[in-house]
Structure 1
Amino acid sequence: MIFFTALSDVLMYIAFSYIIGSVVLGFVPKTHKPAMQESKIMRLLSVAGIALFSLAPVIELTVFLNNGESWFSTFFHILIDYRVGNGWVLTLLFCVLLGLTVHYDGSVHMRAYYTGILVLIVGFFSHVSTLNLWGGFISHSLHFLAMSLWIGVLLHVAWFARDGSNWRRFISWFTPFALVCVAMLIISGIFIMLFFVEPADYVKSWVLPYGQLLLLKHLVIIPVLAAAWINGFLNRKGSYERAWLKVEFLLILLVFVFTAFMSKQAPPHDINNTFRSEGPAPLIELLKGPQFIPIDGAWSVSMNGILLMVIGIMCLAMMVLGYKKQLPLWLSFIFGLIFVGAAYAGLMLNIAF
C-alpha cells in the first residue's frame, strides 16, 4: 500500500506542476517564451489527475479501517468524519470548478484563482499542519507552491516547447524566477523539517527509513541545482539547450520520489522510540551492521568513507564538465546519480550510530 500511495503522490506532484506551469506561462507575453504546444486535453487530464491521485490516502485509510462492513460505507464515513476525507472533498470540488474553467476557456486569472485554492487545500490538510496548524499550513503551502511554480514552467519548456524562439528573453525572466522559487523551497523546507526532526537529531535520524529518505532527497537536490546552474548561468550563449532542461527535470523527479516515500514513513520525533517501533532503515545494517538503542549518530571518519565522498564530488564536477566538453547527456545524468550514491555511502561510513 505504501508503494501505491507514494506513486500516487508523485503523479499528483506532476499533475499540479503541469497545470501551475500552464497558468504561469499564460501570464507571460508570447515574446518572452518559446512557442508552446498548447493542449486543453492535457490541462483537463492534469486537473483530473489532481482529483484522482489525491484520493490515494482516503483509499488507504478505507482499506485500513474496513472491518467487514460495506467498503462504500467505510469510504463515505471517512469523507464525512476524517480530516483526510474532508480535504479530498474540497479538492474534488475545486478540481471540478477548475476543470469547467479550462473546458470553457476561462481566463487565466480564474485558473490561477482555483489552482491557488487547491494549493492552499494541500497545505491546510498536510501532515505538518496537524502538528502546527498555521505554521505548518503556511510553510507547506509555500513549499508546495514554490516547487510547482519552478518545476511547472520547466516541465512545459523542456517537453512541450516547439522550438527555441525567444530563448534569451525567456531565460532573462525565468532564471531570477527560478532562483526565488529555490530560495522559497529551501527556507520553507527547513521550517517543515524542523517540525519533524530536531537539528541535533538530523544525523541520528539517518538510522531510520524517514531519515534515510530525507538524506537522499537532500543529496539529489545538489545535482538538481548543478543542472539548474548549467541551464541558467553556464549557457552564456543563450542557445536552446532542451536536453539539459530534461536532465534537470528528471533529477527533480527523483526528489519527488524520495519526498513521496518519505511522507509514508514514521517521522523521527523521538529517535529511540521510533527505532523501537520501526526498526532500522533497510541499508543501515548492510553498511553499518546491527544497530542498538540508544542511537548515537556521532562522526567517525573512515578512509573508505572519505574516498567515497571524494569520488562523489569528482562525479559532480564531471557532470558540470560534461556540459563544457559536450559529453553525451546520459553520461552527465549518470554522473549526477553516482554523486548521490557515493556521497550517501560515504556519509554512512563516516557515521557511528
Structure 2
Amino acid sequence: MFFVAKVMLYVCFALLMGSFILYSVPRRNRPEIFISKKFILILIALTPLFGIGELVRLTMHLGEDFGYWLTFQNIVLSFEVGKGWLFLTGISILLFFMVLFNDIKEDRFFAGLAVFLIAGMGVSVGYASHAASLESLGFLAHSLHFIAVITWSGVLLVSGYFSKGEGPSLSFYKWFTPLAVACLATVIGAGLWLMNYIVPEYVNSYLLDYGQALLIKHVLLFIIVIYSLINGILLKKRLKQGTTGLALNKWIKTEGIFLFLAFVATALMTQQTPPHDVADTLKMEDPSKLFTFSTGLIPGDNPMLSFSFSMMSLVWLAFAIVLVLSILATIKRNKNMTLAVAASILAASAIYLAIMSSVSL
C-alpha cells in the first residue's frame, strides 16, 4: 500500500508540474494538451493524501505501545517528515483554490505561479527526506533532484499522453531541449550528491535490495537518455527537414513508460533500509534475493564486491548494444511502439545482467 502511494505521489507531482509548465509557455510553443481543470484539482487533492503514506507507516511502526493517534500527532508536529507533510498540505490547499478560481489554461501568470508552488511542494519532499536527516544540505540535494525529475518527466508525460496529433512542433523543442538537458544534468549531479550521503558503498550496495533498486533505476535512466537523444536530436532533425508521419507522440509516450518505471524503482528504494554501511546492514537483514539469483554469490561476514569483466558479461553487453541499435532502427522506420518497448526492456535486462555477471566477492 505504501509503495503504491509513493509511486502515485511521484505521478501526481509530475503531471501537475508538466501541465503548469506547458500552460505557462505561449500556446504556439506547446502541443495542444487536453487535461481538464477537474482532473488537475483531483491531482492536487490527492498529492497530500499520497504524501501521508510515510507518516502512516511510521505511526504503525511506533504507535503500538503509545497509541496510534497520539503517535501520529507527535510525528506530524515533531518529526521533520511530519513538518514537511504539513508544508506540502498547506501549499496544496493554496494551489487548489488558486486553480479553482482562475482560468489556469489561459492565464500564463497563474500557470507560472503554480509552477513556483509545485517547486515549493518539491522542497517540502526534500525537507522530509532521509538525506535531510543525515546532512544539513541533504534536503537541498534531494529537492534539486526531485524537482528536476518531475519537471523533465512531467512535460514529457503530459505532452505524450494528454495531447492529440503527431506530436509537438519545432517551437516546442526550442525551449524544451535546453530545459531537458539542464534537468538531466541536475538529476545526475544531485543524484551523485545524494549517493555520497546515502550510498557511500555504491558497488557493495548491490548486495542489498536498496542497491538492486538503485542499480535498476540507473539502468532505466540510461534507456531514458537514449530515448531523449533520439527524440531530441534525431526526430527533431527530421522534423526540421519537413519529414511527415514521424508520430513523435508515440515515441514520447514510450519514453514516458520508462520514466514511470524509474518512479517504481525509486518508490521501491524508499521501502528499503538505506545502506550507509553494507556489512552492518547485512547483520540486520538478508542479502538481496535478486542479487544471489543473478550472480550465484553468497556474501560472507565482511563482503566486498569488485568488478572483473568475464566472457559472459561481454556477451550480455554485446547483446545490449544490438538491442539498443534495434531500438534506433525501430524508431527510424516508425515501427510499432510495442516492438520498441520490448527491445528497451530486453536491453535494460541485458545491461543489468552484464553488470551482475561482472561482480565478484
Q: Is the contact made by 1:130 and 1:136 (CA closer than 8 Å) also made in structure 2?
A: yes
Distance (whole Å) between structure 2 residues aligned to residue 289 and residue 12 of structure 1: 36
Q: Superposed, which structure 2 residues align to 1:92-131 within 5 Å?
A: 92-105=89-102, 107-131=110-134
Cα deviation 1:175-234 (Å, max 9, x = unaligned): 121111111111111111111122xx3222111111111111111111111111111111
Does residue 1:32 correspond to 2:3, yes or no?
Answer: no
AA matched with 2:333:
K
Q: SS state of the match for residue 304, structure 2?
A: coil
Q: SS state of the match for residue 67, structure 1?
A: helix
Cα deviation 1:93-115 (Å, max 9, x = unaligned): 11111111111116224323322
Residue aligning to 1:192: 194
Q: Is the contact made by 1:217 and 1:255 (CA closer than 8 Å) also made in structure 2?
A: yes
Distance (whole Å) between structure 2 residues aligned to residue 298 and residue 314 of structure 1: 26
Q: Is the contact made by 1:315 and 1:335 (CA closer than 8 Å) also made in structure 2?
A: yes
17, 20, 26: which one aligns with 2:14 = 17
Distance (whole Å) between structure 2 residues aligned to residue 223 and residue 314 of structure 1: 14
Aligned length: 347
Residue aligning to 2:156: 154
* 1:299, distance to aligned residue in structure 2 (A): 2.2
Distance (whole Å) between structure 2 residues aligned to residue 243 and residue 151 of structure 1: 15
292, 297, 317: which one aligns with 1:309 = 317
Distance (whole Å) between structure 2 residues aligned to residue 188 and residue 326 of structure 1: 35
* 1:289, distance to aligned residue in structure 2 (A): 3.4
Q: Is the contact made by 2:29 and 2:172 (CA closer than 8 Å) also made in structure 1?
A: yes
TM-score (norm 2): 0.91
AA matched with 1:261:
L
Distance (whole Å) between structure 2 residues aligned to residue 120 and residue 300 of structure 1: 40
Residue aligning to 1:207: 207
Q: Which stretches of structure 1, 4 residues or longer, exceed 3 Å deviation after superposition? A: 68-71
Residue aligning to 2:238: 237
Cα deviation 1:16-57 (Å, max 9, x = unaligned): 111111221122101111112141111111111211100000
AA matched with 2:220:
V
Distance (whole Å) between structure 1 residues aligned to residue 210 and residue 173 of structure 2: 36
Residue aligning to 1:225: 225
Does residue 1:45 correspond to 2:49, yes or no?
Answer: no
Q: CA RMSD in A?
A: 1.7
Q: Is the contact made by 1:33 and 1:165 (CA closer than 8 Å) also made in structure 2?
A: no
* 1:73, distance to aligned residue in structure 2 (A): 3.2
AA matched with 1:32:
N
Q: SS state of the match for residue 283, structure 1?
A: helix
In structure 2, the CA distance between the partners of 1:165 and 1:284, relative to structure 1 (3 Å rule), is closer
AA matched with 1:169:
S
Residue aligning to 2:181: 179
Gaps of 5+ in 1: none
In structure 2, the CA distance between the partners of 1:182 and 1:165, relative to structure 1 (3 Å rule), is closer
Q: Is the contact made by 2:195 and 2:202 (CA closer than 8 Å) also made in structure 1?
A: no
AA matched with 2:192:
I
Q: SS state of the match for residue 10, structure 1?
A: helix
TM-score (norm 1): 0.93
In structure 2, the CA distance between the partners of 1:166 and 1:300, relative to structure 1 (3 Å rule), is closer
In structure 2, the CA distance between the partners of 1:300 and 1:71, relative to structure 1 (3 Å rule), is same
Q: SS state of the match for residue 87, structure 2?
A: helix
Residue aligning to 1:83: 80
Gaps of 5+ in 2: 105-109, 240-245
Residue aligning to 1:272: 279
Q: Is the contact made by 1:31 and 1:166 (CA closer than 8 Å) also made in structure 2?
A: no
Distance (whole Å) between structure 2 residues aligned to residue 115 and residue 284 of structure 1: 37
Residue aligning to 2:259: 252
Distance (whole Å) between structure 1 residues aligned to residue 296 and residue 144 of structure 2: 37
